[in-house]
A and B are shown apart, each in its own frame.
Chain A
Amino acid sequence: MIELKDVKLSFDENVILDGVTMTVPDGRAFGLLGSNGAGKSTILRLLSGIYQLQEGSIKIDGEDIYDNVKIKEQICFINDETIQFTNYTLKQLKNYYKRFYRTFSEEKFVKLHSVLNLPMNKKLSTFSKGMKRQAIVICAIACCTKYIFLDEAFDGLDPTMRIIVKNMMIDAMIDNGATIILSSHNLKEVQEFCDTAALLHGGKIIFCRELDSVMGSIRKVQTSFPTAPSKEDFPEIEILHIENSGSVTNIIAKGTEEEIRASVEKHNPRFVDMIPLTLDEIFIYEMEVLGYDGKDL
């Protein structure tokens, strides 16, 4: 289990994390979401023991991470940056990982490698961006660690490779009970692949919840009333947004389908169409509330 308590981190004057508290139970696929510069990569680097903790506490299985070999050999971090490995061949890279991880499985590596078309004896500098990423992903997954962290998980991978990487992670979860944390801008992928997600903004957690409870918690309602209503006409539900355009009223509201329908139907609507928001839309509305939107453009 991973526990962060009131974690604060700044570089010089810049506050990167401003009191982050969250828990990742074992066996989860956890998605870190957030605007650019929200602090996602910083959290992953702290969790991997790359950055030293300044304030607060981070425990993995009850222990500190920084300089803790026992915990660190259970963690594999796939950085979004691959430049540090460009002078290695894939064979050298594999042996590099193997040296540090006692759980490294040669058999697993051979199996993963057989799915991809990557040369073993060419330097990574001759690889395309996607190939470099693939090379590092298979080395990391072959480490068979309890924790796998991926920064910008699906970045630079084509649709087929995305599926392959996802399948590798599904196997790791089922076979090793792996806990996965991934950061991504691809909300659809997070929505499908993760069971829990945290939304970060400006170094703070906006929400950290199971996705099943996030999904379906906000609904978009298209309806039409004899007279155009305002927010105050629906005291029973929390209205995030209401807009009258012609005779049609669009409402974004929090609540279950029944709650919202009951409140809306008090005003004799001509029709009521209701659809749950996608994670993409929830992200945009939550960020809009915080003043992060493109409206001034």
Chain B
Amino acid sequence: MFAMQLEGGAPIYEQLVSKITELIANGTLKENEKLPAVREVAKSLGINPNTVQKAYAMLEQNGLTYSIPAKGSYVAKTETTEEIIKKKLLKELSESIAEALKAGITKEEIIKLIKEEKSDD
């Protein structure tokens, strides 16, 4: 069972979805690995089993997991998780760029950095 700290404001199923997405993206949960049972998650976080169910349904909708009736939810094949990692990194990158631009770093300076990085290969 994974550990997580519930935060005050955001819906709990969303927090659960993003936590599990993160665990899949960083490889903690691997392809075809079984997610903990709904009962187990509900008890360890003190939350409603319907909420866990909702998060699991959402993960399946997002293509991150698949379910086997009467058995549980499993992590889907890794192509999707690689895509998630890419998406996540791109998002972080764009946030950093926005922050850098705000702080007065020019686009040219950022492009220069990227070019330098490429030449390191």
A interface residues (Cβ-Cβ under 8 A, vs B)? 27-29, 163, 166-167, 170-171, 173-174, 189, 191-195, 211-212, 215-216, 219, 275-280
Contacts and interface: CB of A to CB of B under 8 A. Distances in A.
B39 A170 contact: yes
A34 B46 CA distance: 22
Given A166-B46, A211-B11, 9 more contacts: A29-B50, A170-B39, A173-B48, A192-B6, A193-B46, A195-B48, A215-B9, A215-B12, A279-B8
Contacts of B71: none
Contacts of A216: 9-11, 14
Contacts of B12: 191-192, 212, 215
Contacts of B50: 27-29, 173, 195
Given A27-B50, A29-B48, A170 B8 contact: no
A212 B11 CA distance: 5
A26 to B, nearest CB: 11
Contact of B8 (A28, A193, A195, A276): A276
Contact of B47 (A27, A193, A276, A280): A193
B118 interface: no
Contacts of B6: 192
A71 B90 CA distance: 57
A195 B9 contact: no
Interface magnitude class on chain B: 20 to 34
Contacts of B85: none
Nearest to A189: B46
A174 B39 contact: yes
A120 B101 CA distance: 70
A191 B51 CA distance: 11
Contact of A277 (B9, B39, B42): B9
B49 A174 contact: yes
Given A29-B50, A166-B46, A195-B50, A171 B39 contact: yes
B38 interface: yes
B9 to A, nearest CB: 3
A196 to B, nearest CB: 9
Interface string B27-68: 000000000001100110111111100100000000000000
Nearest to B9: A276
B86 to A, nearest CB: 23
6 contacts: A166-B43, A192-B46, A212-B14, A215-B9, A216-B11, A219-B9
